[in-house]
Chains A and B, each alone.
Chain A
Amino acid sequence: MSILVIAEHDNSNLKPATLNTIAAGSEISPSVHLLVAGNSCQSVADECSAVEGVEKVLLADDVAYENQLAESIANLIKSASSDYTHILAPATTFGKNILPRLSALLDVQQISEIIEIISEDTFKRPIYAGSCIATVKSNDPIKVITVRATAFDPVNTSGGSATVDSISAEGLSDLSSFVGEEIAKTDRPELTAASIVISGGRGMQSGDNFHLLETIADKLGAAVGASRAAVDAGFVPNDYQVGQTGKIVAPDLYIAVGISGAIQHLAGMKDSKVIVAINKDEDAPIFQVADYGLVADLFDALPELSEKL
């Protein structure tokens, strides 16, 4: 019984969420294969062959896979699927885009964003933005699964010695084509991948005041987020939003500043390992989930925090 993990990469480097997904796969079976589909991505395949726990790397190197558009990649995975009992991808925008398409091509009901593996066919996953945890058993012959990266510790990037087998392009589609990409140019980590996140709420009072958070973020190597209230007030763009309708994060440290702690927001961050809340209202619900609460005016606390770091 072998498992296929779909590698997420940018044609030069493997994306870290793949390592967490391999870890999930290794819990199901010792035989984990990795599919690398891209263009001129031999270096990614080589990187993958050294990853702990990977038995074999399948490399589909074709100009058509440059941008990993869902139509062609789903067809490719389908053509390689017959040898596998489970097909896993990280529950990132990459995996979420491609896997349900594959799942329908295979006539299989996908299990999304698992956080725990109970057995080879039974998994735990959050529903209602994490308000409840469902235990779900799949009766399909092939299990198609996306994995919430934050729920599994990544495997090591070294120690493996997998073979790399080239496979040919299958089922290329011309339904969609790539036009362009605008990747936010910031030295800060991505919100969903950061080990530290500092977020601001309505208490920040303006978008300009977010520089107080940014200064601290840069000292900590953290990402900057926001509550929906701060986004709705126009302080920051929507892609900062942490919460049920925004991004779900689970960093080692989450610092909530001037955030009251609406259900909506808690749903997006309450799986963080350590939560710090800074708020001048001592009755704010955020303190009920915070490991460390500081009742203070953020305009006093933030400059002091920045200075002492």
Chain B
Amino acid sequence: MKIVVPIKRVVDYNVKVRPLGDQSDVDLNNVKMSMNPFCEIAIEEAVRLKEAGTATEVIAVTVGKKDSQEQLRTALALGADKAILIECEELLEPLSIAKVLSKVIEEEDPKLVILGKQAIDGDNNQTGQMLAALLNYAQATFASKVIIEDDVAVVTREIDGGLQTIKIKLPAIVTTDLRLNEPRYASLPNIMKAKKKELDIRPIEDLEIDVSSRTELLSVELPPERQAGIKVESVEELLNKLKTEAKVIS
């Protein structure tokens, strides 16, 4: 069974992002970039399925700038067998990304596609579901447990207030939530080996897909600043303030 794992290069989750001076976008100059944390979980799940003998091949794919090769190398170091970069200088919207991925997936014909539930830059939470629609695949979003049984997958999903388990026909799309697994760290020998592996790099133009933007980013600004409040001296005073000043408890 072949598994495709689309991944994304994003600003590292420890970086505090700020708008550019002219507020036209976020300032991404000289910030640390990493693999999106939910994508790491997706890679880990695919690699575990391979280690368990359920999967035979794990293919990482990304759509992005040349720099994204770095994250594909990380995917290879974590256990992916092959990596594909669809090179594109512009930042694409999730719908366009899903269209590009659907083309790659049609070529690769995997039985399972695992993606992060969202990227921590745009926080859109869309690509997996869109990809499922474009391919007319079943979808199991926000997965915390995945069991493969022949031609179906039984997936437990994190929903508001609890868990839901569904059965999906394969091929299908699974998007990962935090509890699915704890991703491993790449070992130094594996990082070295990954550097030597060949990447499959293709210009996006070759796919002949309309990836024009449907939305315009008008501005990016900081949220209203939160002012530090006051220090209270005692529990008594705290309760008083909450009752009479903030009026949030009675």
Chain A interfacial positions (CB closer than 8 Å to B): 67, 69-71, 74, 92-94, 96-105, 107-113, 122, 126-140, 173-184, 190, 192-193, 196, 220, 237-239, 241, 244-246, 252-253, 263-264, 270-271, 273-276, 282, 287-296, 301, 304-305, 308-309
Known contacts A71-B138, A100-B129, A291-B230; 20 additional CB pairs below 8 A are: A71-B132, A100-B126, A103-B126, A104-B130, A104-B133, A109-B93, A109-B213, A110-B94, A112-B123, A112-B124, A127-B121, A136-B218, A139-B215, A178-B167, A190-B161, A245-B37, A245-B178, A253-B242, A292-B231, A304-B235
Other-chain residue from B13, B140, B159, B226 in contact with A244 (beta carbon distance below 8 A): B13
**When A96-B141, A133-B221 are in contact, do A182 and B162 touch as well, CB less than 8 Å?**
yes
Residues of the B chain whose Cβ atoms lie less than 8 Å from the Cβ of A196? 248-249
Q: How far is the CA of A140 from the CA of B96 in the complex (A)?
A: 14
A273 near B248 with CB under 8 A, answer yes
A308 near B236 with CB under 8 A, answer yes
Q: How far is the CA of A98 from the CA of B219 in the complex (A)?
A: 28
Residues of the A chain whose Cβ atoms lie less than 8 Å from the Cβ of B126? 100, 103, 110, 112
- The secondary structure that dominates the B interface is mixed
**Interface contact tally, CB-CB below 8 A:** 256
Most chain A CB within 10 A, of B132, B162, B239, B248, is at: B248
Residues of the B chain whose Cβ atoms lie less than 8 Å from the Cβ of A271? 223
- The secondary structure that dominates the A interface is mixed
A101 near B133 with CB under 8 A, answer yes
Interchain residue pairs A-B with the least CB separation, the first 10: A291-B229, A175-B138, A100-B129, A104-B130, A109-B214, A104-B133, A183-B162, A100-B126, A253-B248, A179-B165
Minimum Cβ distance to chain B for residue A31 (Å): 24
Residues of the B chain whose Cβ atoms lie less than 8 Å from the Cβ of A131? 16-18, 222-223
Minimum Cβ distance to chain A for residue B103 (Å): 14
Minimum Cβ distance to chain B for residue A131 (Å): 5
Residues of the A chain whose Cβ atoms lie less than 8 Å from the Cβ of B166? 67, 69, 176-179
Other-chain residue from B16, B94, B169, B238 in contact with A263 (beta carbon distance below 8 A): B16
Q: How far is the CA of A139 from the CA of B214 in the complex (A)?
A: 5
A294 near B235 with CB under 8 A, answer yes
A175 near B179 with CB under 8 A, answer no
Residues of the B chain whose Cβ atoms lie less than 8 Å from the Cβ of A246? 178
Other-chain residue from B11, B95, B123, B178 in contact with A126 (beta carbon distance below 8 A): B123
**When A100-B94, A131-B17, A308-B239 are in contact, do A270 and B226 touch as well, CB less than 8 Å?**
yes
B246 at the interface (CB under 8 A from A): yes
Residues of the A chain whose Cβ atoms lie less than 8 Å from the Cβ of B189? none
Chain B interfacial positions (CB closer than 8 Å to A): 11, 13-14, 16-19, 26, 37-38, 93-95, 98, 120-134, 136-142, 154, 157-169, 172, 178-179, 213-223, 226, 228-232, 234-236, 238-239, 241-242, 246, 248-249
B178 (CB) vs chain A CBs: closest residue? A238
A-B residue pairs in contact (CB < 8 Å), sample of 12: A103-B126, A109-B215, A112-B123, A132-B26, A140-B214, A175-B169, A190-B161, A253-B246, A292-B246, A294-B234, A294-B238, A301-B235
A129 near B218 with CB under 8 A, answer no
Residues of the B chain whose Cβ atoms lie less than 8 Å from the Cβ of A126? 123, 223
B241 near A292 with CB under 8 A, answer yes
Residues of the A chain whose Cβ atoms lie less than 8 Å from the Cβ of B95? 103-104, 107-110
B130 near A128 with CB under 8 A, answer no
B228 near A290 with CB under 8 A, answer yes
Other-chain residue from A97, A103, A110, A137 in contact with B218 (beta carbon distance below 8 A): A137
Q: How far is the CA of A244 from the CA of B178 in the complex (A)?
A: 11
Minimum Cβ distance to chain B for residue A249 (Å): 12
Residues of the A chain whose Cβ atoms lie less than 8 Å from the Cβ of B19? 132
B231 near A184 with CB under 8 A, answer no
A308 near B139 with CB under 8 A, answer no
B224 (CB) vs chain A CBs: closest residue? A133
B129 near A97 with CB under 8 A, answer yes
Q: How far is the CA of A103 from the CA of B127 in the complex (A)?
A: 11
Minimum Cβ distance to chain A for residue B62 (Å): 19
B242 near A276 with CB under 8 A, answer yes
A128 near B123 with CB under 8 A, answer yes
Q: How far is the CA of A275 from the CA of B228 in the complex (A)?
A: 10
B139 near A71 with CB under 8 A, answer yes
Other-chain residue from A96, A98, A127, A245 in contact with B26 (beta carbon distance below 8 A): A127
Q: How far is the CA of A138 from the CA of B216 in the complex (A)?
A: 7
A130 near B215 with CB under 8 A, answer no
Minimum Cβ distance to chain A for residue B142 (Å): 6
A292 near B226 with CB under 8 A, answer no
B223 near A287 with CB under 8 A, answer no
Q: How far is the CA of A71 from the CA of B169 in the complex (A)?
A: 12
Residues of the A chain whose Cβ atoms lie less than 8 Å from the Cβ of B248? 196, 252-253, 273-274
Residues of the A chain whose Cβ atoms lie less than 8 Å from the Cβ of B16? 131, 263
**When A112-B126, A289-B228, A308-B239 are in contact, do A128 and B121 touch as well, CB less than 8 Å?**
yes
Minimum Cβ distance to chain A for residue B75 (Å): 19
Minimum Cβ distance to chain A for residue B111 (Å): 14
